[in-house]
Amino acid sequence: MFTAKQTRCGQARAYQDSVYSWDIESDLPKDEVIAKALAELGRGVNPANISTQHSGACGFPFGLDSFYSFSQMATGLYRFTVTEPYLD
């Protein structure tokens, strides 16, 4: 089972990075959930660009690359967030 519910989508205000977030419910192992989230929801983010302290803003060390965070909120419940930099 892999069920994703989108909880956030887009920019909070003008000229800001776009943030997309999903709450995922799954009975798969954590590594498989991460792989499936990247494949189905990752919006083309590089799997190496993981942020352990997701602030919702791009910057060092990712520069203009998108990045993601993944955390376990409870048994079988995860949060997956992708940040895409504002480019204009």
**All structural domains of the chain with their residue ranges:** 2-84
Res 77: pLDDT:
98
- At residue 62, the pLDDT reads 64
Report pLDDT for 85: 85
pTM (predicted TM-score): 0.85
Q: What is the pLDDT of residue 5?
A: 98
Question: Which segments of the chain have a pLDDT < 50?
Answer: none
pLDDT at 45: 87
Predicted pLDDT of residue 61: 63
Distance CA 39, CA 42 (A): 6
